[in-house]
Structure 1
Amino acid sequence: MDGLEELGGRWRADLAGWGIPPEIAAKAPADPWAHSPARFAERTDRALADPEGPTLARVAEALPEGGSVLDVGAGTGAASLPLAGAAGVRESRAAAGASEPPVRAGILGELIAVDTSEGMLAELASRAAALGVPTRVIQGRWPDVAGQAPVADVAVAAHVVYNVPDLVPFLAGLTAHARRRVVLELPYHHPMSWLNPLWAHFHGVVRPQRPTADDVAAIAEAMGYGVRRTERLAPLSRFADMEALAESACRRLCLDPGRAEEVIAAVTALDMWPVRRDRWITLWWEP
């Protein structure tokens, strides 16, 4: 069995393979890695309107009444703010069956939100204020800012780890800041994997197959954590239409937005539409 140092090094090397070649990045008309706070906020609002899924359920069941959540890579709060609602959190049908009773919600007493984006944290803070949730926002990268965060009942990091080259200290920091449970959510494959055929088509770049959620679980297990796991299909399709896909693909591929029609033609020729829904993995353990 591979040791922790080897697993962590492999994760770092595999993740580095997703970098954009410098000669392509130099021609990018917009930041290919940028995320829109407004688009993230839409996802949070959907989650607030209909709290569901195994990740929220795993957080909720470990959270005492009025408990605290540390949300690392919080974005606009989709993985934490729905716990403040009055309705129960539903399990996904695929994970637990349609008859599974809801896990109680409305139990979030304090939120500590960590993110590198000031814009994301501003969207989160405005929603938290509207919900009456006491919130502390910490702008910065985890675990660099871990010293500013208190220990919470539950620590959650949703759709973050593929941005983390040094995964061992990241997970160690989460676990050290959780009294009751650590919960991760991530797609099985790198979130940019859907673009792989287009990278090959437009740039002749072959993208990696790893790392995957299996690698995250292996690292956590090598750290001595009793990892449990469930998975489901992403609750929504990635794009509502081809135009939205083309807009996103142009930015991610460092193409001029005026080439959107070329992207749509390539997507059609490569039989990429509709884009397959991701498999979302939930991992959790007790400290």
Structure 2
Amino acid sequence: MDAEELAARWRERLESWAIPEEILAKAPVDPWGHSPERFGARTDRALADRDDGPTMTRLAEALPDRGTLLDVGSGAGASSLPLRERIGHLYAVDPSAAMLEGLTLRADKLGVPVTTVHGRWPDVSDRVPTADVAVAAHVVYNVPDLAAFLRALDARTRGRVVLELPHRHPMSWMTPLWQHFHGIDRPVRPIAEDCVALAAALGFAVRVEEREAPLERFDTLEELAANACRRACLDPSRVDEVAATAAELGMWPLPRDRWVTIWWD
């Protein structure tokens, strides 16, 4: 298939993850929301113990000393700030103002010059200059128009583009709970190979590495259950029930994800 067909298939598969309206209407909180505190804790852990996996390695070897780094979907900076000793200027793009605030506070403490851009990529791509290297980590499963996203990322990068994503959709782990509590099955695709195929069809000289995720998704069964209540549109008062169900279904401890690093120069 050509890039247009692959892009359409990516969009269709991603849209199949939409939560049915009758379930979404009863959600006590936004099931797709992200916690700035959780992202901040992940960044602090990355700063304290830098991960030397393929994503950080490919970024570090391509980023010139005091070079410019573009971090799209930056969160609190877990995939960029660990390179603080090499960064001359960081451009961070994220749709969450709270995430960007957390990144700015950490960058200032580390002495990393940073410019934040609040908005969605590629809508705000004209607000950042061309960078030496770009990273977009754990973002693409939130991007329906992936072809436009990747093209804009490449256009704003003079050197290497690096993507990191789990092999499967990040909500795949919840499939047994969706079946148990709502009687519905969740999709299987898209997966990382679909992103690789599209990037290659767009003409990028894609290279790929895969590994086991360096972090557990949750530290405790209780943390898993609280997250599952939100994601599955269940009232937080059911957290003990969800924890017991997850244990009965053999979901604890969760197997670690497989993370995929995709890059091109």
TM norm structure 2:
0.99
Aligned partner of 2:72 in structure 1 is 72
Structure 1: which 5+ residue stretches go unaligned?
Answer: 85-105
* Moved segments of 4+, more than 6 Å: none
Q: Give the Cα separation in 1 of the matches to 2:257 and 2:59.
A: 21
**Partner residue of 1:122 out of 83, 97, 101:** 101
**What is the CA RMSD across the aligned residues, in angstroms?**
0.6
- Describe how 1:195-210 pairs up with structure 2 within 5 A: 195-210=174-189
Counterpart CA distance in 2 for 1:26 and 1:195 is 19
The match for 1:259 is 238
Q: Tell me whether 1:220 sits opposite 2:199 in the alignment.
A: yes
Aligned partners of 1:48 and 1:57: how far apart in 2? 15
State the shift of 1:261 in Å.
1.7
Could you say what secondary structure the match of 1:34 adopts? Answer: coil
The within-5 A match list for 1:125-274 is: 125-274=104-253
Q: CA deviation at 1:205?
A: 1.2
Give how far 1:237 is off.
1.0
TM superposition shift of 1:51: 1.3
1:138 and 1:108 map into 2 onto residues whose CA distance is 17
Q: In 2, distance between residues paired with 1:56 and 1:49? A: 14
Please, which runs of 5 or more residues in structure 2 have no aligned partner? none
SS in 2 for 1:236: coil
C-alpha distance in structure 1 between counterparts of 2:138 and 2:117, whole Å: 18
Identical-residue share of aligned pairs (%): 61
How far apart are the structure 2 equivalents of 1:120 and 1:184? Answer: 19
Distance 2:81 2:67 in 1: 13
User: How many Å separate the matches in 2 of 1:62 and 1:51?
Assistant: 17
Shift of 1:50: 1.4
Deviation track 1:54-102 (CA, whole Å, cap 9, x = no partner) reads 1111111001110000000000000100001xxxxxxxxxxxxxxxxxx
Deviation sequence 1:162-182 (CA, Å, 0-9, x none):
000000000000000111100
2:70 aligns to what SS in structure 1?
A: strand
**1:156 partner SS:** strand
Per-residue deviation, 1:196: 0.5
- CA displacement 1:143-170 (0-9 Å, x = unmatched): 0000101000001000000000000000
**Counterparts of 1:122 and 1:170 in 2: how far apart (Å)?**
24
CA distance in 1, matches of 2:163, 2:28: 33
Give the Cα–Cα distance (whole angstroms) in 1 for the partners of residues 241 and 111 of structure 2. 47
Match of residue 18 from structure 2: 19
Report the secondary structure of 1:281's partner residue.
Answer: strand
For 1:127 and 1:189, locate their aligned partners in 2 and report how far apart those are by CA, in whole Å: 30
Give me the TM-score of the superposition, normalised by structure 1: 0.91
The 3-state SS of whatever aligns with 2:109 is helix
Provide the aligned length of Structure 1 versus Structure 2. Answer: 264
